[in-house]
Structure 1
Amino acid sequence: MWSQKRMAAELRNAADADLQGSLPEIASLVRGIRRYEAGEHRPEDPYRTLYCRVFRMSEEELFGARPEVPERDDETDALELAQRISATDVGEETLSRLEGAVDDLAVAYPRTPPAELLIRTRRHLAYVARLLDGKKTLAEHRRLLVTAGWLSLLASTCHIDLRQFPAGAARLRTAAQLARHTEHAEIAAWCLETEAWQALTSGDHRRALDLSQGAQAVAPKGGSPYIQATAQEGRVWARLGGRRETRAVLRRVEGLVSSLPTPDRPEHHYRYDPAKSIAYTATTLAWIGDPAAEPYARQVLARLESADGPARPRRAVSARLDLSLALLAADQPEEAAHVTLSALTSGRLVPSNFWRAAEIIERIEARRLPEATELHEAYAHLRQASA
């Protein structure tokens, strides 16, 4: 994760020789970067171009499409109207609806493409930034900062899903800063858990272990981020090959969720649903090569694809990858290949899970199955479409 000073140096290095002479000093660039990461402004030329060069992304990918006229959005339009009719610059109605919008975005996460959700989250962050410039009480100011913290955290998660790590790190750094300012332990813990998840998907398992344990130390005991970070620790131990530690953590998670009620909106990304523990058990057992993962994975997949429950297509795709690994451990490679192909062609596999599919394909190729060629082609097509 780059510091703001390192980011300023990278921007300066990305400039052409003629432009470098007109750029301000590093300290001034750092102040501009800090304001950008806090959501106080959006970079304009030439800084937009420099950011794109540093991150090797197009302007639309990094900042979204640049509209010819100010872009309007029904959600934020409604919030602005609520603000205008309230008794203060901010008001209880506006704050309550903003907090409700955060919950709605978190509920939308499991079924919405991350690029689409990121656009909506950015709009709300921009609106919160405008409200922070207005008159407000101390209590209103803190609620706005907490809202900005949740939105920055969700935006970071979307960036990580898209493998846009520098942008994700900047958002995550902002969320952690807002958590410190507001002394919000839950957001602080989720920041560490999210960073642990990124480290895990990037193969940095030791760092993922430290971060997941650090999240547990910060989180309110027994709360959603505490349980999630504990489950994350179990998955890390599985990747490290620690079978004894893995099973010990699975028992801890089982104890934590045994009396946990189902939340009102179980699909909420930041509210732990006890049913999630079965999915984490399936993943964790599959990663240590335990055939016992198979019935868990089948149970999770059946629940997620049931017509009775809410649609969670992205989680269903992850469950298919878990089932594929479990089937390989149970020496059923043909079905594993079929299940993997359905995940690859679902249109719901996000870039942060590509590595999981690649590992399964590698194991199927090692068994010299004829299905390996079709899987390899489907995976290559998926990567090309994502790029």
Structure 2
Amino acid sequence: MPFASRRTGSPRSTRSCREQLLIEGRQWLRRVVELHSKSLTLAQHREVLALSGWLALLVGCVEYDTGARHAAESTRQAALSLATEADHAEVAGWAHEMRAWFALTTGDYRGIVAAAQAGAETAQNHSVAVQLAAQEAKAWARIGDRRQVEVALDKGRRLLEGIPHPENLDNHFVVDPAKFDFYAMDCYRLVGEDKLARTLANEVLRAGTDFDGTERSPMRNSEARSPSAWRRRVTATWSRRSSWANEPSKGTANRCHRSS
């Protein structure tokens, strides 16, 4: 489905575009929901449920972008419920990925791990599993667990190798393979693996620049070449880890099976 632009470096970066997209998304969601009252075959019913789930995911993302966090979580839960009813693993996987994304923005790193692992179990045969692995790696990097970072990144790389290159990278709900090196770079920076991080930074810059020097991914490129970003991230991570040392462990074993 030709769903709207991705979170980074898109027209959604302006408030007016986000608000317009939210209006249109809600309108389409209402129209699709109305189809449930029609006489449908079982296959058609499941298709409408899945389409409703996709639209709910989109609306939830935009709601979160515009600061309506409670509404976004309610919409995300609705998308997950629709996915469950339709038996649609991919929609369910992205609903879990949204939970991981929400947790990342609020600093709930163990919540990311729980959401990522739940989503990976649900949608292990879909490309969203790559994004979930990346979210999990980002969480472990911020927690400071170098071994688990490598486990999550290795899982993501293996999954990435097994999926075809997406036809439409403007679709919000597809995985951009070029971003995985960016995520890995960020993780290695945070755990102090500067040599690996610099190697990946060079790859991010290469992939994000056209032959004529035009930058395809200016935000990623800026992050890749910014020494100050390295120091800020590492300092922030160690500061958080020091604060966690005085807190009881929340763990993830009991939080189901399973995140920008």
Same fold (TM over 0.5): yes
Residue 253 of structure 1 corresponds to 156
Q: What is residue 287 of structure 1 aligned with on the other side?
A: 190
Give 1:327 deviation, angstroms: 5.8
Cα deviations by residue, 1:157-180 (Å, 9 ceiling, x for unpaired):
122223321010111011011011
3-state SS of paired residue (1:265): coil
Q: Distance in 1 between matches of 2:170 and 2:102?
A: 21
Equivalent residue, structure 1, for 2:200: 296
* Alignment-derived partner of residue 82 in structure 2: 178
Letter in 1 for 2:179: K
- Structure with greater Cα Rg: 1
Computed over aligned residues only, the root mean square deviation of the Cα atoms, in angstroms, reads 2.8
Q: Describe the shift of the 1:168–1:279 C-alpha distance in structure 2 as closer, same or farther (beyond 3 A).
A: same
CA contact (8 A) 1:293 1:326 kept: no
The Cα of 1:305 is off from its aligned counterpart by: 4.8
Residues 302 and 137 of structure 1, relative CA distance in 2, 3 Å threshold = same
Higher relative contact order (CA 8 A, sep 6+): 2
The separation in 2 between residues aligned to 1:130 and 1:214, in whole angstroms, is: 31
Matching residue of 1:144? 48
1:192 partner letter = H
Q: Tell me the amino acid that sits aligned with residue 148 of structure 2.
A: E
Structure 1 match to 2:181: 278
Q: Residues of 2 paired with 1:226 and 1:305: CA distance? A: 27
TM-score (normalizing by structure 1): 0.52
1:324 aligned to 2:223? Answer: no
Question: 1:87-108 deviations in whole A, cap 9, x for unaligned?
Answer: xxxxxxxxxxxxxxxx222456
- Equivalent position to 1:269, from 172, 190, 200: 172
Instruction: Look up the SS of the partner of 2:3 in the other structure.
Output: helix
1:229 to 105, 108, 132: 132
**Hey, what's the Cα distance between the residues in 2 that align with 1:214 and 1:118?**
27
Residue pair 2:100, 2:111 contacting (<8 A) in 1 also: yes
- Residue 253 of structure 2 corresponds to none
Q: Secondary structure at the match of 2:2?
A: helix
Conserved 8 A contact 1:200-1:208: yes
**1:213 maps to 2:117:** yes
Counterparts of 2:222 and 2:102 in 1: how far apart (Å)?
A: 21
Identical counterparts, % of pairs: 31
Q: Match for 1:324: what amino acid?
A: S
Aligned length, in residue pairs: 227
Give, in whole Å, the separation in 2 of the partners of 1:231 and 1:160. Answer: 20
Which structure 2 segments of 5+ residues have no match? Answer: 13-17, 237-260
2:60–2:76 Cα contact (<8 Å) kept? yes
Task: State TM-score, norm by structure 2.
Answer: 0.75
Amino acid at match of 1:258: E
Q: 2:2: which partner in 1?
A: 104
CA separation of 1:243 and 1:155: change in aligned 2, threshold 3 A:
same
More displaced, 187-196 or 257-266? 257-266
